[in-house]
Structure 1
Amino acid sequence: MKNNSTLSWFILLLTLFITFNHSHATQTESISNSLRIEHLLDKFYQWRSHQTQENQLKLSTPVVVAGVLCFIAASISSAGGIGGGGLFIPILTIVAGVDLKTASSLSAFMVTGGSVANVMCNLRSTSPKYGGRTLIDFDIALLSEPCMLLGVSIGVICNLVFPEWLITLLFATFLAWSTSKTCKNGVLHWKTESEELKRNRCETLENGSDESEGIEATKEPLLGVKEDCKLRFPWMKMGILVLVWFTFFTLYLLRGNRQGQGIIEIEPCGAGYWIISSLQIPLAMIFTAWILCKKDSVQHQASNHEDEDQDPIREGPSNKLIFPMMALLAGILGGVFGIGGGMLISPLLLHVGIAPEVTAATCSFMVFFSSTMSAFQYVLLGMEHTDVALIFAVICCSASFLGLVVVQRAIQEYGRASLIVFSVSIVMALSTVLMTTYGVVDVWRNYVSGKYMGFKLPC
């Protein structure tokens, strides 16, 4: 009995000893991993600080590499009609080593350059599939632009108030959801196109004609320039869009920024600053209501027009108001995340059933107005490195032309407009990974250093 008791005590002590050692080893390993991660973060921040101090956007290897990567990003983004700011900002900050403020200003010019190429191509082209009209849906652009510009201003204020961890969380959640929805839409369009191509081949074989002739019929150019495209160009709608742009731009110039930099003397973040800022709300409501009334009047006068069935903005206030609401949401999120609204409104338009080619053309048209406004504001408020910004804008413009040519030829060759949707998915997925990773690193660094991580005042 004594031997059994001694053996039991020995086994118990051995078990406790092994458990203690295992627990101690686990804690030591956990501490070691934490120190290793913190050491890697310190090395990363030291490298980025060194890049920021040494690299003042002079001709160097990091800047050249960043230019090449931005060229590739712009060529991919152009196909989907989105700005690509979600790729430009991480490339400029991580590769070129510029600070976030400079990267944002450069990104505005780069998005402008890419959108110029898109708009020039889309304005000169018409689609036989849509009755010889341009792929740009000016009605969607008219209904969306005032609310998008208002949303950007609200989003910028939220960006100043929200803590970085909340911005990163919202960004990752929304873009992950949008990427998933866009991929599903791409797969759905791909299946629909496959069924259509199969049906065309079957009809060709039943009619006894050459199969190659039927295949060529499905490869009809998506964008065909027609002689009467100038007669179809909606100059009135274009004029209203320019009027909206100049009205909001005038308010931005009168208001200035939080430091009081503007065309008039105004107290920084004073009563005048907020009064002028709040004028954007009734202005957006007035423009949207006026455009809706004008749209109703035109529809009533042309109710028997043969092209009326192809209008994506159908009868009923719920179908019309969905575009301003989507634009407001996209503008707010774009202002909060510091990227263009095109990457956010594109999946929303695809989700409500707008055709991929129309979505891409319309989004690029809307991005042109918002990006040019941002670029002009940066210049008038004393932006530095304007020459470098223009060089990057030319690079992105050339890349966008190249991307559009490649995608259009691919669509003509294979008859699949879903390639546009997949290009949007690629850009959104890369932006989600890059910007979320970049934001998580900054949030972790602020947490470790003990910085304040709560809500802040806008001024």
Structure 2
Amino acid sequence: MLKSHGNMKLSTSSVVAGVLSFMASSISSAGGVGGGGLFIPILTIVGCLDLKTATSFSAFMVTGGSIANVMYNLIAKSAKFGGKTLIDYDIALLSEPCMLLGVSVGVVCNLVLPEWLITIMFAIFLVWSTSKTCSNGIEFWKLESDRHLGTRNGYGNLENGESGEAKSLEEPLVSMEGKESPRFPWKKLVVLIMFWFSFFIIYLLRGNRYGQGVISLKPCGIEYWALSLFQIPLAIAFTAWILRKQELIACQDPNKQGVKKLIFPLMALMAGGLGGLFGIGGGMLISPLLLQVGVAPEVTAATCSFMVFFSSTMSAFQYLLLGMDHISTALVFSVICFVASLLGLVVVQKAIKRFGRASLIVFSVGIVMALSAILMTSYGALDVWDDYSSGNYMGFKLPC
């Protein structure tokens, strides 16, 4: 993929990168994760793009996939959860402010920490997350197998006199009782959009550390850091207000104990921070955490894709307003991921309905995380080796 007069030529590498991106997006969509951990290595290694351009392309590609996910999940209703949408707006409201704050903190840490340390941390965290996700997937698979076995033995046909064991197998890990009615939750969506615009305005005014923004600010000056730090009280205020207004979260951990509301913003803060540090979307990181506290796979995938939509669109708009190159090509890749995500969602949802295996979602997340761990760690290791061979400085750096 060669640069020429502001456009990118169609070549074998660009076609191969597009095909691989299509496959990566279709797999990622099933788990509700963005897929940035796959897109960036594909674009840099196969597509021969520099890391900066690949990162901007990845933001558009994740946005395209998340739009498909949100559209599908807004239309689709789940009979398992009483005909309601699978998106848990309560979890999204509690998590999104801290996730965006965590991304900002993670980006600063990415500038300060040496590349070799980031690569090691990334490998350790993804290996741990992949193992936990696969363990959750195996547990869900066993529960589904027991449920199918009980149904074949006649337990599923019991009405008022069904046994407690059969009933426990049928209960989802997330109870939708007390949730919103089938009507669209406009108020919650408006709150999310308000918060999105609040952070977006801060990013526009502040610009980046090179002074690129809508107003003239000294890069990394007092005003720059004042606007950056303002994100902390803003996120805390939004989260505190939502915690006071929000209903109880009905999900349960695997031991059938209620989950406290505060755990969701804390998980989102950690996922966002790690996502900003490693340069990938927070959806891949918060998905295993939600599964760990007992959120059902279908709800986890739909809710994560909904949250990724807000974070990815913010990144894409920032790249647009700061004058990114090759916008038309980025849009083409975005459309590819949009189509691939729809196809992946349709195929996986049909498989779930046919085989009754929601654990397929968990395994798809595990596959994406395992591939990301291999590709991103290998790519990072090559960068570290190049720095070492070239004698470049490999210690801690200032953020500016």
TM-score under structure 1 normalisation? 0.79
CA contact under 8 A between 2:259 and 2:293: conserved in structure 1?
A: no
CA distance in 1: counterparts of 2:20 and 2:258, whole angstroms: 44
2:370 counterpart of 1:425: no
- Give the residue type in structure 1 aligned to 2:38: L
Partner of 1:292: 243
CA contact under 8 A between 1:109 and 1:371: conserved in structure 2?
A: yes
CA distance in 2: counterparts of 1:360 and 1:205, whole angstroms: 27
CA contact under 8 A between 2:24 and 2:39: conserved in structure 1?
A: yes
Does the C-alpha gap of structure 1 residues 168 and 266 become closer, same or farther in structure 2, counting only changes over 3 Å? same
- SS of the equivalent of 1:320 reads coil
Does the C-alpha gap of structure 1 residues 52 and 451 become closer, same or farther in structure 2, counting only changes over 3 Å? farther
- SS of the equivalent of 2:99 reads helix
CA contact under 8 A between 2:123 and 2:377: conserved in structure 1?
A: yes
CA distance in 2: counterparts of 1:230 and 1:403, whole angstroms: 28
CA distance in 2: counterparts of 1:79 and 1:176, whole angstroms: 20
- SS of the equivalent of 2:213 reads coil
- Give the residue type in structure 2 aligned to 1:234: P
2:87 counterpart of 1:146: no
CA distance in 2: counterparts of 1:249 and 1:205, whole angstroms: 50
C-alpha displacement at 1:312, in angstroms?
A: 1.9
C-alpha distance after superposition, 1:262-310 (max 9, x if no partner): 1111111100000000000000000000000111xx56xxxxxxxxxx8
Task: Choose which of 375, 385, 389 in structure 2 pairs with 1:434.
Answer: 375
CA distance in 1: counterparts of 2:122 and 2:290, whole angstroms: 19
C-alpha distance after superposition, 1:414-433 (max 9, x if no partner): 00000000000000000000
Partner of 1:181: 132
CA distance in 1: counterparts of 2:109 and 2:234, whole angstroms: 20
CA contact under 8 A between 2:112 and 2:399: conserved in structure 1?
A: yes
Task: Choose which of 53, 61, 65 in structure 2 pairs with 1:114.
Answer: 65
Does the C-alpha gap of structure 1 residues 453 and 182 become closer, same or farther in structure 2, counting only changes over 3 Å? same
| Structure 1: segments with no counterpart, 5+ residues | 1-50, 208-217, 219-228, 300-309
- Give the residue type in structure 1 aligned to 2:127: A
Partner of 1:82: 33
C-alpha distance after superposition, 1:58-102 (max 9, x if no partner): 100000000000000000000000000000000000001000000
CA contact under 8 A between 2:83 and 2:182: conserved in structure 1?
A: no
Name whichever structure is richer in helix by fraction: 1
CA distance in 2: counterparts of 1:284 and 1:133, whole angstroms: 29
C-alpha displacement at 1:384, in angstroms?
A: 0.5
- Give the residue type in structure 1 aligned to 2:196: W
CA contact under 8 A between 1:182 and 1:425: conserved in structure 2?
A: yes
CA distance in 2: counterparts of 1:231 and 1:361, whole angstroms: 16
CA contact under 8 A between 1:161 and 1:457: conserved in structure 2?
A: yes
C-alpha displacement at 1:129, in angstroms?
A: 1.7
The correspondence of residues 343-422 of structure 1 with structure 2, limited to 5 A, is 343-422=284-363
C-alpha distance after superposition, 1:159-215 (max 9, x if no partner): 1000000000010000000000000000000000000000011016988xxxxxxxx
- Give the residue type in structure 2 aligned to 1:180: S
CA contact under 8 A between 2:250 and 2:258: conserved in structure 1?
A: no
- SS of the equivalent of 2:351 reads helix
C-alpha distance after superposition, 1:294-351 (max 9, x if no partner): 11xx56xxxxxxxxxx82289x997111100110000011001111000000011011
C-alpha displacement at 1:143, in angstroms?
A: 0.4
Structure of larger gyration radius: 1
2:41 counterpart of 1:100: no
The alignment yields a C-alpha RMSD, in angstroms, of 2.1
| Structure 2: segments with no counterpart, 5+ residues | 159-168, 170-179
C-alpha displacement at 1:57, in angstroms?
A: 2.8
Does the C-alpha gap of structure 1 residues 230 and 131 become closer, same or farther in structure 2, counting only changes over 3 Å? closer
TM-score under structure 2 normalisation? 0.90
C-alpha displacement at 1:447, in angstroms?
A: 1.1
Q: Identity of counterpart residues, as a percentage?
A: 68
The alignment covers a number of residue pairs equal to 376
Partner of 1:28: none
- SS of the equivalent of 1:178 reads helix
C-alpha displacement at 1:444, in angstroms?
A: 1.3
CA distance in 2: counterparts of 1:122 and 1:194, whole angstroms: 26
